[in-house]
Amino acid sequence: MTDVPETHYTRSADGTALAYHVSGNGQYPLVFLSGGSIPIDLLREEPGFVRLSKRLGAFSRTVWFEPRGTGPSEGNLRDAWVGEASDADLNAVLDSVGFEQPALVGWGSDRLAAMRFSVTHRDQVRALILLNSFAHYVREDDYPCGIPPASLDRLMTALIDTWGTGATLKGVPGSWPIFGVVASR
């Protein structure tokens, strides 16, 4: 595939090597936290992603950041979920590319890191963009659009019962907002 950016590395405060790509020549700094599901170097093989990257590159200089413990980044994924480590990792990447006040894009599992960083480092973030994300998903008196607790209980029971069996979940009410496309027994 042509136009594949080089994988760059920087070190977090604790010495962990973190991978990222830089694409585009636009004036606006934009940082994508990967979501942890597909390594950044494999995304470049997906034509839809290549089109998106090129379109973003028309107006932004975009960093595609791979959190620790995923793809080519070193470390343990569990450590990426610890606020201070996650913040230090993102700061290392921002310093490495020279970004000041980028827009952060968080999706999937990395939405929490993007939210946390944008709140705890307000002066370093111009905007926060969340894709396929939620901050809260269980229905409560003050949050009527969430998943009913009984549906969540059924989903968790089904996951526990089928974990490691290769079975899929279909039709478990309330499962799709949490796991994307989900099937049931």
The per-residue pLDDT for 178 is 41
What is the Cα–Cα distance from 70 to 28, expressed in whole angstroms? 26
End-to-end CA distance of the chain: 40
The low-confidence residues of the chain, meaning pLDDT below 50, are 1-2, 173-185
Domain locations in the chain as residue ranges: 8-131, 139-185
Element (H, E) at 124: none
Token pair belonging to 102: 């980028």
The per-residue pLDDT for 140 is 87
The per-residue pLDDT for 13 is 93
The per-residue pLDDT for 169 is 62
What is the Cα–Cα distance from 93 to 87, expressed in whole angstroms? 10
The per-residue pLDDT for 174 is 45
| Mean of per-residue pLDDT scores for the chain | 82
Q: Which residues contact 18 (CB under 8 A, 6 or more apart)?
A: 9, 10, 11, 12, 65, 66, 67, 68, 73, 74, 75, 89, 92, 93
The per-residue pLDDT for 105 is 93
Quick: pLDDT tens for 87-119. Answer: 999 999 999 999 999 999 988 777 888 888 999
Assigned CATH topology for domain 8-131? Rossmann fold (3.40.50)
